[in-house]
Amino acid sequence: MARIVMKFGGTSVGDMDRIRNVAHRVRAEITAGHQVAVVVSAIAGVTNRLVAQCRQLARTQMPWFDGEYDVVVATGEQVTTGLLALALRDSGVPARSWQGWQIPIRTNEAHGKARIDSIDSAPLLAEMAEGSVPVVAGFQGIGPDGRMTTLGRGGSDTSAVALAAALAADRCDIYTDVDGVYTTDPRIVARARKLDRITYEEMLEMASLGAKVLQTRSVEMAMKHRVPLRVLSSFTDTPGTLVCDEDEIMEHHLLSGIAYSRDEAKITLTKVADRPGIAAAVFGPLADANVNVDMIVQNISEDGRTTDLTFTVTKADLERAVAVLRASRDFTFERLIPDSNVAKISVIGVGMRSHAGIAQTMFKALAERGINIAVISTSEIKISVLIAEEYTELALRALHSAYGLDAV
């Protein structure tokens, strides 16, 4: 007997037939003798519709700073819990729905982007021990003031992992519309391979660097609590990808995957007067304005007294970042050059720690295709480069071959 948390995303519960299909998958685990708790997302499309309605009525407010936004969008998951509980009972499996406030799933007070503080596992464990399936609303919780909160988009993955940790589950299965984690985006690289296993660290880099299969925060939490995570499709019967500890993976490839993101924008400041504290003077006001800066390069210019600064922000923040920089009086520069025509390509693998020459392979493969690298940043298990956006697909295919990741 294992204790399993099964999480089903929006497309997996996309209509009544699919909800019935999900009920059959849950029944199969129950029939196999396991204890199961289920976490569900809203039916695909519902959350977007509810968010649009909020925006229409809250013209002068940012709805995510407002508890009412949470009240509206949390209904998406609530509907799915009730419907799936009905479908489970219909197929002979005892079940009941649980909303965030009922368990409770306690969060901080940050409406629209709350963090889970604690989950009371006792009522769910009691129900599971009786052979009934708790169907838990993902994405939602209850704040310190007793009002509903939501975790931010994609938060249902985080709900599932947090629940698996609270229940000390043997496994957390994330059912989605793809059948696992791939070496890169298979829509772009036809020879992308599905990974059988990937480490938490690699999955975390993949998620933060643009692979959208899992929410970053959910991977962080799985890593912290050592929850084995399985990513698999609710539409096929293939085994999916296991996200796990490094020592559970027998044979490592040099690289696990290649991620990309088109959400970046680049800003270059030329001839910034070079003096101690200049980085703080430039980046302090951006941090104050809630603009996240990612990659940073600083070059000493020819005259030796000024420097050129290049860094990236998200495309959504670009306009705000430019305004903040132009308004600042704490430093001088010659020109400010914004560029949103960029993409970030990242190669990721724990094998990097023990193998030299990985960066060299990357630079060579890109150079051979005439792709210019604007910015480079590295960490222990990844190398990211910024290139012109139109080279994204070409770069992905070139690197996928160069690192021997192509399916045979």
Segment 358-362 long-range contacts (CB within 8 Å, at least 24 positions apart) = 358/254, 358/255, 358/383, 359/383, 361/402, 361/403, 362/399, 362/402
The smaller minimum CB distance to its own copies, of residues 96 and 315, is found at 96
Min dist CB 128 to its own copies, Å, is: 18
Give the total of residues touching its own copies (CB under 8 A): 39
Task: For residues 358 and 364, give the distance between their C-alpha atoms in angstroms, rounded to a whole number.
Answer: 10
Min dist CB 81 to its own copies, Å, is: 6
Task: For residues 73 and 403, give the distance between their C-alpha atoms in angstroms, rounded to a whole number.
Answer: 43
- Residue in 17, 174, 164 with CA at minimum distance from that of residue 87: 17
Radius of gyration from C-alpha coordinates of the chain: 23
Angle at 368 between CA 363 and CA 371, to 5 degrees: 70
What track of x and - describes contact with its own copies for positions 45 through 64 (by CB under 8 A)? -----x--xx-xxxxxx-x-
- Tokens at 223, concatenated: 């890593």
Q: Which of 34, 89, 153, 194 binds its own copies (CB under 8 A)?
A: 89
- Ranges within 69-88 binding its own copies (CB under 8 A): 69-72, 74-75, 78-79, 81-83, 85-87
- Ranges within 18-37 binding its own copies (CB under 8 A): 19-20
The smaller minimum CB distance to its own copies, of residues 150 and 261, is found at 150
Min dist CB 79 to its own copies, Å, is: 5
The smaller minimum CB distance to its own copies, of residues 126 and 273, is found at 126
Task: For residues 13 and 79, give the distance between their C-alpha atoms in angstroms, rounded to a whole number.
Answer: 11
Residue 274 interacts with its own copies (CB under 8 A): yes or no: no
The single-letter code of the amino acid at 352 is M
Residue 391 interacts with its own copies (CB under 8 A): yes or no: no
Q: Which of 6, 29, 37, 101 binds its own copies (CB under 8 A)?
A: 101
Partners of residue 96 on adjacent β-strands: 134
Residue 44 interacts with its own copies (CB under 8 A): yes or no: no
Q: Which residues of 378-405 are buried (b: 16+ CB within 10 A; e: fewer)?
A: eeebbbbbbbbeebbeebbbbbbebbeb
Q: Which of 32, 90, 122, 284 binds its own copies (CB under 8 A)?
A: 90
The smaller minimum CB distance to its own copies, of residues 60 and 290, is found at 60
Task: For residues 50 and 63, give the distance between their C-alpha atoms in angstroms, rounded to a whole number.
Answer: 11
- Residue in 133, 66, 70 with CA at minimum distance from that of residue 101: 70
- Ranges within 145-164 binding its own copies (CB under 8 A): 146-147
Min dist CB 7 to its own copies, Å, is: 19
Residues contributing to the site for its own copies (CB under 8 A): 16, 19-20, 50, 53-54, 56-61, 63, 66-72, 74-75, 78-79, 81-83, 85-87, 89-90, 96-97, 99, 101-102, 146-147
